[in-house]
Amino acid sequence: MTSEGQTPDGEGKKSKGYKDLLVWQKGIELVKEVYQLTKPFPSDEKFGLVSQMRRAAVSIPSNIAEGQARHTTKEFIQFISHAEGSLAELETQITVATELGYCTSALAARAQELGGELKRMLNALRRTLERKSS
């Protein structure tokens, strides 16, 4: 590949980066949803649940990006696993926030729905990468 992202024969094929991954894009969508969801939380939760939820959400696409940037399938799988862990953490935190009355079930539902979609996408990507590496 040349520095312009073209193959030496000039075909113009660009290498895929993490921003091209639909799973990363869905992760960014979830981050934005979590920031909106946590906006109205009580101010005394700013350094508690709000901070934890936002960090967990941001961790998901961050791990996808870092794993893809490592350029080895084994490492990518490891970072996908980290993203799955952060997603489980976030789902738990959304449940806690709902049960504490910081958000309604209806507001939390969109984030949980996105989380479910992302979980399926991460699982499918991990399985695909595992098949590729074996």
The reported pLDDT for the residue numbered 71 is 80
CATH number corresponding to 18-133: 1.20.1440.60
Any residues with CB less than 8 A from the CB of 31 and at least 6 apart, and which? 54, 57, 58, 60, 61
Specify the pTM.
0.86
Tens of pLDDT along the chain (134 residues) come to 333 333 333 334 445 799 999 999 999 999 999 999 999 999 999 999 999 999 999 999 999 999 999 989 999 999 999 999 999 999 999 999 999 999 999 989 999 999 999 999 999 999 999 998 88
The reported pLDDT for the residue numbered 15 is 53
Query: Over the range 45-70, which residues count as b (16 or more CB within 10 Å of their CB) and which as e?
Result: beeebbebbbebbbbbbbbbbbbbee
The reported pLDDT for the residue numbered 31 is 98
The reported pLDDT for the residue numbered 114 is 97
